């Protein structure tokens, strides 16, 4: 055993990871690959680790029957295959960065625990917003963030057979859950607190998603903030008050966004960033050199603005976890490791796609409003085209919105929406943003053509040419 990995007290050097999902397990796995002699302990509050949270709606609508298929590792397989000491049901409550200790309780027994660490990775994720309103804790009111949340909601659907649901929040998560509930036969109403376009999209693009919701039987109330949730005679939820209306409901799902779980970091005096997320360097190091943070609890650099931002994204969480784990391995690997370059996270764009029943939407980078808030003299160009040529037997309309800087033509953001085949075009636009392309370069891209996939001039190229003319 390498002596550089033994502490003065004779124990192996220890990495403690708080949080066992995307970022945490990526950090632990990467540290294990690069530093096989480390002791690695992963602490998680829930019973599940390393699962695909984006698959939870499929668990609700019946597409996925066995929840095990959503997990990459169970606690047992992580121990056996990766030599990771995974401890579920552990609530971490204290962090002493000077003494390098974390402490808390074992949920099932109430037994306290304390662990020393040489390096710590905080991968505590984000928590769903539960507004302090009457009735939010009633039976029949759910949030969906963790796998256990999804299992609890599925059990409710199976046991009580509710007929009417209200989804508070019409973002990516709210719309995904609304579709799952419609697939179960429920009447679904989405309530949105602001009268703004769906999903933060430009109005013409957001309208595609809105029309798809209505066309498929959902009621959408915009500008209807949630005021309270009512109980029926049995104490179970019976309705909600939103805007100026009362809506009957047997089931309520709160999808009002998330906040970073940064309480431990805040209590320990670590520096926080936008939205209260843990401020980290590109190496995922916090303001305390022995502590790293990754995933939805941490900041990351927005690739368009170059500024620190709070972006919740599964891919970015995995990448940050790998960066944190690699740097921990270098920290604890002795002098030879210190001479190696330190990995850095490249930043993110907030790229996202969503199927909205029979429509698709995607976005990346800044919206027009966000670009102007950042100080850009930005303009938006929206075009309507088709996913395939008109003569092809399948295909349909799609919209492309490009947000660009007026003076330079620099691409700042993009959105797509429409017929199936529209959404994944956002990947081309995200690549252009990542590479820093302007509209002229975007318009000159050599994109593939065949009638089964696109018109001879892909809608992205049509939008780029239209935007060039505008500026």
User: Which domains does the chain show, CATH number per domain?
Assistant: 3-127+259-338 (3.50.50.60), 130-256 (3.50.50.60), 352-470 (3.50.50.60)
Return the beta strands (E) in 199-244 as ranges: 219-221, 226-231, 237-242
**Which one-letter DSSP state was computed for residue 348?**
B
Return the beta strands (E) in 375-410 as ranges: 378-386, 397-405
Range of weakest confidence among 197-201, 208-212, 369-373, 455-459: 197-201
For the chain, give the percent of residues with pLDDT over 70: 97
Tens-place pLDDT, residues 143-186: 999 999 999 999 999 999 999 999 999 999 999 999 999 999 99
Of the chain, the end-to-end C-alpha distance in Å amounts to 64
Measure the CA–CA gap between 211 and 206, rounded to whole angstroms. 9
Q: What is the average per-residue pLDDT within 452-456?
A: 96
CB contact at 8 A, 191 and 153: no
How far, CA to CA in Å, does 391 sit from each of 205, 295, 395, 452? Answer: 24, 46, 9, 10
CA 469 to chain centre: 35
Adjacent-strand bridge partners of 28: none
How far, CA to CA in Å, does 125 sit from each of 147, 346, 434? Answer: 13, 19, 25
Structural tokens at position 451: 């009638």
Residue of 54, 218, 261, 284 marked active site: 54
Query: What is the model's pLDDT at position 336?
Result: 47
Active-site residue, 54 included: yes
Measure the CA–CA gap between 388 and 398, rounded to whole angstroms. 10
Measure the CA–CA gap between 249 and 468, rounded to whole angstroms. 49
Please name which of 187, 185, 206, 209 lies closest in space to residue 197, comparing C-alpha atoms: 206
Tens-place pLDDT, residues 287-306: 999 999 999 999 999 999 99
Sequence-ordered list of residues with C-beta below 8 angstroms from that of 96, at least 6 positions apart, any chain:
102, 103, 268
Backbone angles phi, psi at 151, to 5 degrees: -65, -40
Q: Is the pLDDT of residue 3 over 50?
A: no
119-122 vs 291-293, strand pairing mode: parallel
Q: Is the pLDDT of residue 337 over 80?
A: no
For the chain, give the percent of residues with pLDDT over 90: 93
Query: What is the model's pLDDT at position 392?
Result: 95
CB contact at 8 A, 340 and 34: no
Q: Please give the mean pLDDT across all residues of the chain.
A: 94
SS3 label, residue 27 = helix
Backbone angles phi, psi at 50, to 5 degrees: 50, 60
Query: What is the model's pLDDT at position 338?
Result: 54
Query: What is the model's pLDDT at position 5?
Result: 60
Please name which of 418, 260, 332 lies closest in space to residue 16, comparing C-alpha atoms: 332
Structural tokens at position 430: 């995200």
Query: What is the model's pLDDT at position 9?
Result: 64
Q: Which residue has the tokens 């360097």?
A: 281
DSSP characters over 413-466 = EEEEEESTTSGGGHHHHHHHHHHT-BHHHHHT------TTT--SS-HHHHHHHH
Q: What is the average per-residue pLDDT within 317-328?
A: 97
Please name which of 284, 341, 274, 278 lies closest in space to residue 305, comparing C-alpha atoms: 274
Adjacent-strand bridge partners of 6: 12
Tens-place pLDDT, residues 218-275: 999 999 999 999 999 999 999 999 998 999 999 999 999 999 999 999 999 999 999 9
Tens-place pLDDT, residues 59-87: 999 999 999 999 988 999 999 999 999 99
Q: Is the pLDDT of residue 104 over 70?
A: yes
Q: Is the pLDDT of residue 441 over 50?
A: yes
CB contact at 8 A, 275 and 266: no
187-191 vs 219-221, strand pairing mode: parallel
């Amino acid at each position: 055993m390498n002596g550089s990995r033994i502490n003065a007290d004779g124990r192996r050097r220890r990495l403690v990871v708080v949080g066992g999902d995307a970022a945490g397990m990526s950090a632990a796995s990467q540290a294990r690959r690069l530093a096989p002699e480390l002791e690695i302990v992963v602490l998680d509050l829930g019973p599940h680790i390393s699962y695909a949270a984006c698959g939870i709606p499929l668990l609700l609508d019946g597409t996925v029957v066995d929840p095990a298929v959503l997990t990459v590792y169970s606690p047992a397989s992580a121990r056996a295959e990766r030599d990771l000491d995974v401890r579920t049901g552990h609530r971490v409550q204290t962090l002493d960065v000077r003494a390098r200790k974390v402490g808390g309780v074992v949920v099932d027994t109430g037994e306290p625990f304390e662990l020393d660490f040489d390096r710590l990775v905080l991968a505590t994720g984000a928590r769903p917003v539960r507004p302090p309103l009457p009735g939010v804790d009633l039976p029949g009111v759910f949030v969906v963030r963790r796998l256990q949340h999804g299992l609890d909601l599925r059990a409710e659907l199976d046991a009580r057979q509710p007929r009417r649901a209200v989804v508070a929040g019409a973002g990516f998560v709210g719309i995904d859950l609304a579709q799952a509930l419609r697939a179960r036969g429920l009447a679904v109403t989405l309530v949105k607190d602001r009268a703004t376009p769906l999903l933060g999209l430009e109005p013409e693009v957001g309208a595609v998603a809105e029309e798809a919701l209505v066309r498929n039987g959902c009621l959408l109330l915009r500008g209807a903030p949630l005021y309270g949730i009512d109980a029926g005679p049995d104490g179970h939820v019976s309705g909600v008050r939103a805007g100026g209306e009362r809506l009957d409901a047997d089931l309520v799902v709160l999808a009002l966004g998330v906040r970073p779980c940064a309480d431990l970091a805040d209590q320990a005096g670590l520096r926080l960033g936008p939205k209260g997320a843990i401020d980290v360097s590109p190496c995922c190091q916090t303001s305390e050199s022995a502590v790293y943070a990754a995933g939805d609890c941490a900041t990351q650099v927005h690739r368009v603005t170059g500024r620190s931002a709070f972006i919740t994204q599964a891919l970015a969480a995995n990448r940050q976890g790998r960066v944190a784990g690699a740097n921990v391995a270098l920290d604890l690997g002795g002098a030879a490791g210190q001479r190696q370059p330190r990995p850095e996270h490249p930043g993110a764009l907030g790229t996202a796609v969503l199927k909205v029943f029979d429509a698709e939407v995607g976005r990346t980078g800044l919206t027009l409003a966000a670009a102007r808030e950042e100080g850009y003299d930005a303009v938006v160009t929206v075009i309507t085209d088709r996913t395939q040529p008109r003569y092809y037997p399948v295909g349909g309309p799609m919209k492309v919105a490009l947000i660009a800087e007026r003076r330079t033509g620099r691409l700042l953001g993009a959105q797509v929406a429409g017929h199936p085949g529209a959404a994944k075009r956002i990947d081309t636009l995200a690549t252009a943003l990542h590479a820093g392309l302007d509209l002229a370069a975007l318009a000159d891209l050599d994109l593939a053509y065949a009638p089964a996939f696109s018109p001879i001039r892909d809608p992205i190229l049509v939008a780029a040419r239209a935007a060039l003319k505008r500026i």
